Amino acid sequence: MPWVDACAVDDVDEEDVVRWDHGERTYAIYRSLNNEFYCTDGLCTHEQVHLSGGLVMDYEIECPKHNGLFDYRSGKALRAPVCEDLRTYETKVENGRVMVLV
Amino acid sequence: MSKSTAPIGSELAVRDYSLTGDSTRQAIENGLSAAEWYHSEVPRKKLKSLMKRRDAPAIRDTVIWIALHFVFAAGGLYFWGSWLCVPFWFAYGVVYGSACDSRWHECGHGTAFRTRWMNDVVYHIASFQIMRNPVNWRWSHARHHTDTLIVGRDPEIAWMHPISLVLKALAFVGIVETWTSLKVLMRNAMGNLSQEERDYIPESQWPKAVFWAWVHIAVYAAVLVVSLVLFVSGAGWKSLIPILLIGGPRVYGCWHFVMTGLLQHGGLAENVLDHRLNSRTLYMNPISRWIYWNMNYHIEHHMFPMVPYYALPELHELIKDDLPPPNTSIWDGYKEMMGSVMKQRVDPNHAMRKTLPRTARPYLEHLHRAVPERNTGLEISDRGGT
């Protein structure tokens, strides 16, 4: 599994999320209030809605369609209607770029 | 201002509103289920600020709401035996039996409070008041947002064809609905979920549905026992007080939530993928808006369900030029809706369709005429992501 250059650090606002497409898959990249970066699968496990339109609060991402909630650090599903956890991916920052291990 | 046409997606010969019948199969085959919906453009930064959660507005409103329960109940009890108690019970009925609907709704979305447990506590109180199994209805409402007014998919369609005006009128006094709700809770408490409930509730949640049904039934049974004990003790009409306080307002106080709820989608189109065609935004008086927690901005709510109730007026101002003109009052909304409903009683394919302002993007008819296949992955984003 290679490290892949996903985006610039500045592409993601603090406490926000952006979409990143790579290969055949789509991902969500998060930036916390503490300037940490995280990556999960992009689509909600409930009904295939992209999480990049959602709301980031602290370390949680809320799905824009049904308000299901995940901890984006662990991918853990926190509130119905999501029951299935999100897959997460390691990230690191190098030279102002967010790298994701996919 | 408005005209009538039948959106192609709604032209069904026979409507089967069950969630496991022919209409369900057709909706899935036609790509109307879990489809892409139109939404007005809102810049991401602005949307983020609108979605931002705060505890303060909902704490303020909840403190007022709870306080009103006590004040009106105290007035009803103080003036018991005189006609003066009637307005107090009337008001108590509305804050219990109608305001609970909007609290149930907003806290179910998790948008009222920033703090999660506050949403959960109010959600459960309001679910109890409105006699809804809090598990079942959380999932049915998720489906309502996925497949709004899609026949065979949406379990919360209020105006099902053929429309019975008698049943709709009876809904304002809640007797039929209360009896139905109690039967569902009893059935659930006995561990029995219907085929439809099993369709929209994941299996992992079924034990929770049974547990909460038990809790609701146990409280209602206790209220009934207290009332009977009072009656046997010779309390006379006073033995009704426990029921007037708990459970009864679902009957005598529900009229306001029924009045506002019927307006949400009444007379509008089924089987379309543009909320401007199947939902209604209208202006109403501030008391009704407080009871209803701003759900009169219903198109806005369906387009952006993450925006809390207290930010909906601002969202409305932002996108109103892309929406049909709002009705000017509850009365105006009813005139429009009932005109369309009466036509729908003759022709279920009829649906009213408002003329959009010049500033609006046109209704996206192609979304429900030829829905592209919805797959996971990149193809979704190519059509606009969320």
- Mean pLDDT of the B118-132 span: 97
Mean pLDDT of B271-294: 96
Chain B positions in Cβ-Cβ contact with residue A50 (cut-off 8 Å)? 380-381, 385-386
- For residues B308-312, average pLDDT: 98
ipTM score for this prediction:
0.82
**CA distance linking residue B277 with residue B271, whole number of Å:** 10
CB B205 within 8 A of CB B133: no
B34:A48 CB<8 A: yes
Burial environment of residue B104 by CB neighbours within 10 A (0 to 12, 13 to 18, 19 or more): buried
B43 in contact with A at a CB cutoff of 8 Å? no
Contact B251, B181 (CB under 8 A): no
- Other C-beta atoms closer than 10 Å to the C-beta of B240 total 14
- Whether residue B270 contacts residue B150, with contact meaning beta carbons closer than 8 Å, is answered with yes
pLDDT of residue A81: 87
pLDDT along chain A (102 residues), means of 10: 92 94 94 96 90 93 91 94 93 95 92
Chain mean pLDDT for chain B: 90
User: Are residues B330 and B284 in contact, defined by beta-carbon separation less than 8 angstroms?
Assistant: yes
Euclidean distance between the first and final Cα of chain B, in Å? 31
How many residues comprise chain A?
A: 102
Q: Specify the 3-state DSSP secondary structure of B77.
A: helix
Cα–Cα distance between A13 and A67 in angstroms, integer?
21
Q: Which chain A residues are Cβ-neighbours of B112 within 8 angstroms?
A: none
Cα(A79)–Cα(A87) distance, rounded to whole angstroms? 16
The rounded distance, in Å, linking the Cα atoms of B48 and B68 is: 33
CA contacts within 13 A on the Cβ side of B1 = 8
Distance CA A82, CA A66 (A): 9
Chain B from 116 to 135: CB within 8 A of any A CB: 116
CB-based burial label for A95 (10 Å; 0-12, 13-18, 19+): exposed
Instruction: With CB atoms and an 8 Å threshold, state whether A53 touches B386.
Output: yes
Q: In this structure, what is the dihedral angle of CA atoms B120, B125, B131, B135, given to the nearest 10 degrees?
A: 20
Residue A18: which domain range?
3-101
Residues of B in contact with A79 (CB under 8 A): 110, 116
Beta strands in chain B (DSSP E): 2-5, 351-354
Task: Tell me how many domains chain A contains.
Answer: 1
What are A's interface residues with B at a Cβ cutoff of 8 A? 13, 16, 19, 21, 24-26, 43, 46-50, 52-55, 57, 62, 64-67, 69, 78-81, 83
Strand, coil or helix: what is A69? strand
pLDDT on residue B9: 46
Whether the pLDDT of residue B137 is over 60: the answer is: yes
- Cβ distance of A83 and B376 shorter than 8 Å: no
Provide the CATH number for the domain around residue A23. Answer: 2.102.10.10
List the one residue out of B291, B297, B310, B316 whose CA is nearest residue B57. B310
Tell me the three state secondary structure of residue B44: helix
Apex B369 CA angle, B364 and B370, nearest 5? 105
Which residue in the set A26, A62, A66 is minimally distant from B142, CB to CB? A66
Average pLDDT over residues B233-238: 94
Domain boundaries, chain B: 15-354
The whole-angstrom separation of Cα B355 and Cα B107 is 33
Asked if A55 contacts B306 with a C-beta cutoff of 8 angstroms, the reply is: yes
pLDDT in tens, B181-198: 999 999 999 999 999 899
Q: Which pLDDT tens digit goes with each residue over B338-381?
A: 999 999 999 988 988 889 999 999 997 766 665 444 333 333 33
Instruction: Supply the pLDDT for residue B386.
Output: 26
Helical axes B99-109 vs B134-146, angle rounded to 10°: 70
Which residues lie closer than 8 Å to B314 by C-beta, 6 or more apart? B50
Q: What gap in Å lies between CA A52 and CA A30, rounded to an integer?
A: 9
Contact assessment for residue B22 and residue B374, using Cβ atoms and an 8 Å cutoff = no
